[in-house]
Amino acid sequence: MYGLDGKAVLVTGASGGIGAATVRKLVQAGANVYAGGRDGEKLDALATETGCTPHPFDLTSEDSIRDAVAGLELWGVVNCGGFGGELATPMDTDIAIFDKAIAINTRGALLVTKYASQAMVERGQGGSIVNVSSQAALVALSGHISYAASKAALDSITRVSALELGRYNIRVNSVNPTVVMTKMSAFYWGRPEIGEPFLSQMPLNRWATEDDIADPIVFLLGNGSAMITGVSLPIDGGFTAC
Ligand SMILES: NC(=O)c1ccc[n+]([C@@H]2O[C@H](COP(=O)([O-])OP(=O)(O)OC[C@H]3O[C@@H](n4cnc5c(N)ncnc54)[C@H](OP(=O)(O)O)[C@@H]3O)[C@@H](O)[C@H]2O)c1
């Protein structure tokens, strides 16, 4: 159905919630999955569970990314590794946090795309890249100054990469999820005074699950989306449409 059988796909952030859910679905679809992240124990556990190949590397280091991506005969990439940053306004932001959000969410994803797409072009078999962005890139959310900037820049990378790589039959898309109630999200969105007004403005009126995000990632990676490139797809229960 997805045409991913036997295809090699790198998923960064595979030691996290959305990345691991994506790995599970890609393995079910028959892909050979390389699971990126830093936490080797979590990647080993995911490998035991799914049969994916642990592939740890650091998204803040160009050398680490180049070494990790070179030599993999990739057809697909999911740039899912990410850093949530801080809750701050433009008046009180810690610029070191801004730099870290850009380093991981934007620069890291661009470097993975750079080295992966070089190899994909060389192989000449096309491919597909999905960047895990955020609803925070599409609308203004309180307190999200650094994170939003890093993900909006990622959406720009998606569009320009789609333009540049289309001639090689490599598609590049973003998904822009709403909140998945992970530990990272709960300290903010789990507060009733923050979460309830937010959900009341969302037509589907619930938090997303990891699988809600992983399914559209697999769709955008595979053949069912063969004519789709350069989009930023909200997975947000309708929040950004209203
Ligand atoms: N959760 C949400 O509500 C939500 C909503 C919208 C978008 N997103 C985006 O979805 C993606 C996954 O989020 P999640 O909820 O699954 O988060 P998570 O569970 O915190 O996972 C984050 C992942 O990023 C990896 N990572 C962080 N820094 C890294 C670095 N320097 N080098 C390599 N890997 C690094 C982590 O690996 P290690 O732990 O092994 O270092 C982990 O695998 C992120 O890009 C996030 O911004 C999340």
Provide the percentage of residues in the chain whose pLDDT is more than 90.
96
Rounded distance between C-alpha atoms, residue 77 and residue 132, angstroms = 11
Whole-number pLDDT of residue 1: 75
Q: Calculate mean pLDDT across residues 99-109.
A: 98
Length of the chain, in residues: 242
Whole-number pLDDT of residue 179: 97
Q: Which atom of ligand 1 approaches the CA of 39 most closely?
A: 40
Whole-number pLDDT of residue 236: 98
Structure tokens at 83: 């850093």
Please report which confidence band the pLDDT of residue 54 belongs to, taking 50, 70 and 90 as the band edges: very high
Q: Give yes or no: 147 in active site.
A: yes
Whole-number pLDDT of residue 14: 98
pLDDT tens, position by position, 164-205? 999 999 999 999 999 999 877 888 999 999 999 999 999 999
pTM of the model: 0.98
Which residues form the pocket of ligand 1, taking CB atoms under 6 Å from any ligand atom?
A: 13-19, 37-39, 58-60, 80-83, 104, 132, 134, 177, 179-180, 182, 184-185
Given ligand 1 and candidates 22, 25, 38, which is best to mutate, with the most ligand atoms within 8 Å of its CB? 38
- Which residues have a Cβ under 8 Å from the Cβ of 155 and sit 6 or more positions away? 131, 133, 137, 174, 176, 232
Q: Calculate mean pLDDT across residues 42-60.
A: 98
Phi/psi zone of residue 89: left (φ > 0), alpha (ψ -120 to 50 degrees), beta? beta
Q: Which atom of ligand 1 approaches the CA of 81 most closely?
A: 24
Decide if 83 contacts 16 (C-beta within 8 A).
no
Domains delineated in the chain: 8-241 (3.40.50.720)
Full strand arrangement of the beta sheet holding 53-54: 53-54, 32-35, 8-11, 76-79, 127-132, 170-177, 232-235
